[in-house]
A and B are shown apart, each in its own frame.
Chain A
């Protein structure tokens, strides 16, 4: 599959017409059509604008592969989480999900050192998620 074909595929999945995407990415509809049909190449800035409008990765548009930086880290359940899970009677999978959720934070700009979550903080995190997803049928 070519870059153009991948643009077309994602555009359609996003429910956008060529005209809508071209307008958002500040290119002409004719040019977008040519790119999608493999008749013309697109420069880096045009591709970036399209990628950003489609919320797609340039790597995917160029090569059809997703960039992954996930490593084969061992799963280590911290002691505080283990204790919190026991107090909350969480299953192994629920505990793991809580750990994964916490691990979603990969970076933050702050001036302070960071510390391990306490048992109480794990419980708070669990409650916050539970509240949102129990009340959250309106979210679905």
Chain B
């Protein structure tokens, strides 16, 4: 978030949204969105699940979802809107791809009572598992929709890194896709993979397992860190490997099990409990047992000070409970600090 807070585009977005005093644009934009969401929820007393919440917010933001499961669905939807003289649908099929699973159009020829937008969600192939998050991504765009000046006349362009506004939209989507007022009342005890799956089933069965792990960990009231572990090289080794065509026999870097992706919730960050991305998994950790297939699940009390940075610094002493699980062939780990 710190890097995003330095983006001119994010500062401009905050100003465009009419936020008067901008100190921390990411938090300020999130608060702006939450105000709108709370306003919508005032009229939705019966909204108890995240799926209902999604549907309600979509309608209040003036959009409806068209879901595409097959090429024939795509043709049907295209024809439906072309019949209504919505001309952009002439190129809708060219817009959707594996990289673009969702798109929202403003409707120009709608009836007064109809939503002013339509969000097309592609469920074909790999996009199916992203669909819940894609819907929230489209809604997040509408939550921060101002004029079109930052968007219009634009199409995709391959540049390194991600557009800061898209990163902001992902943060908004992550927050409201797993909005904690819906989650907290159902939390019962310590975080576990089973609890996360139960919550997913009851609150948002459409969400993917992976996005649920991230979303529920972030919304969890107690400190928790989620790791996705995989074999990888040190950053310096990867850099060397990409700039060098061959290594001396003795210098060939050996991949080690690392925390490739780290998601810490706010409470963990506030308590200063962190693991840095790409840190090597300690040799004695039970995470190796799960990763090497000795078992599908393991749980043990370990210590954060076992974790060492590439420069040799060790993390502070802190008892942690490790819950490691082989999920769909990947190793996921929940880290819970213990007194």
Name A's B-contacting residues (CB within 8 A): 6, 10, 13, 43-45, 48, 51-52, 54-62, 66-69, 71, 73, 78, 80-81, 97, 100-117, 121, 125, 128-129, 131-133, 136, 139-140
Contacts and interface: CB of A to CB of B under 8 A. Distances in A.
B87 A133 contact: yes
A83 B10 CA distance: 32
B250 interface: no
Contacts of B151: 105-107, 114
A112 B95 CA distance: 13
Given A44-B56, A106-B105, A110-B156, A139 B138 contact: no
B157 A112 contact: yes
A71 B148 CA distance: 9
Range class of the B interface residue count = 35 or more
A106 B157 contact: no
Interface string B94-113: 11000111111111100111
Interface string B146-179: 1111011111111101110010010000000000
A114 B152 CA distance: 9
Contact of A112 (B52, B147, B159): B159
B116 A66 contact: yes
B46 A43 contact: yes
Nearest to A72: B147
Given A57-B114, A106-B145, 13 more contacts: A48-B56, A52-B59, A69-B62, A73-B147, A103-B148, A106-B104, A107-B104, A107-B145, A112-B158, A112-B159, A113-B156, A128-B94, A139-B79
A42 to B, nearest CB: 10
Contacts of B163: 112-114
Contacts of A57: 59, 62, 113-116
A121 B155 contact: yes
B91 interface: yes
Contacts of A55: 64, 114-115
B280 interface: no
Of listed B91, B108, B163, residue having the most chain A CB within 10 A: B91
Contacts of A100: 108
Contacts of A45: 44, 46-47, 52
Nearest to A65: B112
Q: Kindly list the 9 A-B residue pairs having the minimum CB-CB distance in the complex, ordered from nearest.
A: A107-B141, A114-B154, A115-B157, A107-B104, A132-B90, A104-B88, A109-B102, A60-B113, A45-B46
Given A69-B116, A110-B100, A111-B99, A102 B152 contact: yes
A52 B55 contact: yes
Contacts of B100: 108-110
A47 to B, nearest CB: 9
14 contacts: A10-B113, A48-B59, A52-B55, A52-B59, A73-B147, A103-B106, A104-B107, A104-B108, A107-B145, A109-B169, A113-B157, A113-B158, A128-B91, A133-B90
Nearest to B121: A109
Contact of A115 (B55, B149, B154): B154
Contacts of B156: 110, 112-115
Contacts of B95: 105, 108
Of listed B47, B107, B113, residue having the most chain A CB within 10 A: B113
Contacts of B45: 43-44
B60 interface: yes
Nearest to B86: A104
B190 interface: no
Contacts of A109: 100-103, 134, 137-138, 166, 169
Contacts of A125: 91
B145 A67 contact: no
Contacts of A139: 79, 82-83
